[in-house]
């Protein structure tokens, strides 16, 4: 198992513009630009020293002015874990590249994030609502979402 410091040293040499933090977490946190997301994720999985073969959590985030996605990865071979964070400045038309072609489990995670945050995933094989109906207006987990029905009931 590689330490967070060893992972950071290795990954920082991969020619991406990355920001590394530990944020009081047991995991090394890496922030990546949207345009580098897919290439970085592919390399994290395929590199023989990292071998991040398990995507175990994907979470959408609304930071107020920007939207983002947080990915938790683990190597089942080496037992090390990291967190990858990506943000999109465009709240009107938020898009990121899919990682569902790298880890199949991302398929449903990305659909859920699309459903609740409105983030579109480029090249996703089946990007459609997962929980909400097609007629649903808005994205309920965004901070600017207004729940008209519950406002009337109160």
Question: What pLDDT, in 10s, does the model give residues 7-45?
Answer: 999 999 999 999 999 767 789 999 999 999 999 999 999
Please state the φ and ψ torsions of residue 37, each to the nearest 5 degrees.
Answer: -55, -55
Helix ranges, 30-120 (H) = 37-46, 106-117
**What pTM was estimated for this model as a whole?**
0.93
Q: What is the pLDDT of residues 66-101, one digit of tens each?
A: 999 999 999 999 999 999 999 999 999 999 999 999
Architecture of domain 4-153 in this structure: 2-Layer Sandwich (3.30)
pLDDT 10s digits, 95-150: 999 999 999 999 999 999 999 999 999 999 999 999 999 999 999 999 999 887 66
């Amino acid at each position: 198992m590689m330490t967070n410091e060893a992972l950071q040293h290795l990954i920082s040499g991969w020619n991406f513009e990355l920001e590394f933090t530990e944020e009081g977490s047991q995991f090394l946190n890496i922030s990546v630009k949207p345009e580098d997301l897919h290439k970085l994720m592919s390399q994290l999985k395929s590199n023989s020293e990292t071998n991040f073969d398990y995507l175990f959590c994907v979470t959408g985030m609304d930071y107020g002015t920007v939207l983002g996605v947080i990915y938790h990865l683990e190597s089942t071979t080496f037992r090390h874990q990291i967190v990858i964070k990506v943000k999109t400045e465009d709240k009107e038309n938020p898009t990121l590249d899919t990682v569902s072609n790298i880890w199949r489990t991302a398929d449903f995670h990305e659909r859920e994030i699309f459903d609740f945050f409105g983030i579109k995933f480029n090249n996703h094989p089946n990007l459609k609502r997962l929980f909400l109906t097609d007629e649903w207006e808005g994205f309920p987990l965004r901070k600017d979402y207004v729940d008209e029905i519950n406002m009337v009931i109160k």
